[in-house]
Chains A and B, each alone.
Chain A
Amino acid sequence: MPVRQQIFAIIICIIVFAAAIDLVRRRMLREEYSVLWLTTSVVMFALVIKYDWLEALTRFIGASLPTTTLFIGSIVFLMLISVQFSIKISRLTNQMKNMVQDNALLRAELDRLGKGAVRSGVDNSKA
């Protein structure tokens, strides 16, 4: 791998790693979502530094160039992120459904109790 390409890849890895840590520190990113970002940046960093590992991986998956391996790796990473988000959104949708239903049922119950209280107030004033 040319030195310039290597330096560029290392800088990207460091920026992604530092940004993920900083976002977690500022409570803008939850730890559970930082795992994939941090893991990917560390793995990419290791593959760029240890170029023979990248070559071995390239031979293993049958790719022609090491850069292709990195490209495939980034696509796999994006797919994993998307799947993680889809699972989370599905869970949140279900939780929101239950909350909306509970909210509707509780509001109806409150209305009923409120009407009952008003009625008993009227009855008391008549008595």
Chain B
Amino acid sequence: MKILVLIPAFNEASVIAVVIADIRRVVPEYDILVVNDGSSDATASIAESAGATVISHSFNMGYGVTIQTGYKYAFFNGFDIIVQIDGDGQHDPTCIPNLLKPVLSHETDFALGSRFLGAESYEPVWARRLGMTLFRIIVSWKLGKKITDSTSGFQAFNRSVISFFTSDAFPNDYPDADVLITLHLAGFRVNEVSVRMHNNISGTSMHSGLMPLYYTFKMLLSIFVILLHGTQVDRR
């Protein structure tokens, strides 16, 4: 079974080597792909030196486009499972085997790492927590089960989901709660797994400035549009 560890990265030169080394220690047999989103620092060369396969965007395209490039790479190169982990060192690689377990045993199509399911993790600031709570309630209501961390980027999923994510319907920015609802409507099984998340050690965040406002607006609109489409989403 071919498993790919996907790391989206933008200006993560200070931490990317550590992240790759940590992943290697936990799962040395898996391929590691870093998708460099047009970084202006040495992220790509450092990642390559650390032994990862690197794909670079010509310029910055955003988080959604970056991870989708990774999905396309995995799809065209015949990978069966993707483990997605952030390049800023927030996600603890020792949780990868746990995250993978339900996907490997075909219990679920999509395993979502949750920082709120027991494992000791950092506490987000109150404003972010408020937004997370709102989307957690919406996603839980739509999926008919409790989802505790709908904004988590620490995920593992199988080839059917990889194929589904390569379509143009995949959002270009902030693929979070809306993607979970789309997956559910398309008939995929989504389950949460407890993971550990640290505070962002690189100090850069895509949720800075006015971005949280845009994020909330975009996510509410995106969810509204998905719900307008009806109860079923075409898997193709």
Contacts and interface: CB of A to CB of B under 8 A. Distances in A.
Nearest to A101: B69
Nearest to A108: B55
B216 interface: no
B58 A101 contact: no
Contact of A100 (B54, B59, B76): B59
B58 A103 contact: yes
A30 interface: no
A94 B57 CA distance: 15
A70 B47 CA distance: 61
B214 to A, nearest CB: 16
Residue from A101, A105, A108 with most neighbouring chain B CB atoms (10 Å) = A101
A89 interface: no
Contacts of B53: 108
Contact of A97 (B35, B56, B65, B73): B65
Contacts, number: 37
Interface string B55-94: 1111101000100110011001000000000000000000
Q: Is the interface of A mostly helix, strand, loop or mixed?
A: helix
B56 A101 contact: no
Contact of A104 (B69, B76, B168): B69
How many chain B residues sit at the interface, stated as a range, is 10 to 19
B65 A100 contact: yes
A100 B72 contact: no
B172 interface: yes
Nearest to A95: B168
A100 B73 contact: no
A100 B56 contact: no
Given A94-B168, A97-B65, A97-B172, A105 B59 contact: no
A101 B168 contact: no
A98 B172 CA distance: 11
Contact of B58 (A98, A100, A105, A108): A100
A104 B56 contact: yes
Contacts of A105: 55, 69, 72-73, 76
Interface in B28-58: 35, 53-58
Residue from B54, B55, B59, B61 with most neighbouring chain A CB atoms (10 Å) = B55
Given A105-B73, A105-B76, A108-B73, A100 B172 contact: no
A88 interface: no
Contacts of B35: 104
Given A94-B168, A105-B72, A100 B55 contact: no
A91 to B, nearest CB: 10
B168 A100 contact: no
A104 B172 contact: no
A13 B132 CA distance: 54
Contacts of B76: 105
A97 B68 CA distance: 10
Given A100-B57, A101-B68, A104-B69, 16 more contacts: A93-B172, A94-B172, A98-B168, A100-B58, A100-B59, A100-B65, A100-B69, A104-B35, A104-B55, A104-B56, A105-B55, A105-B69, A107-B55, A107-B56, A108-B53, A108-B73
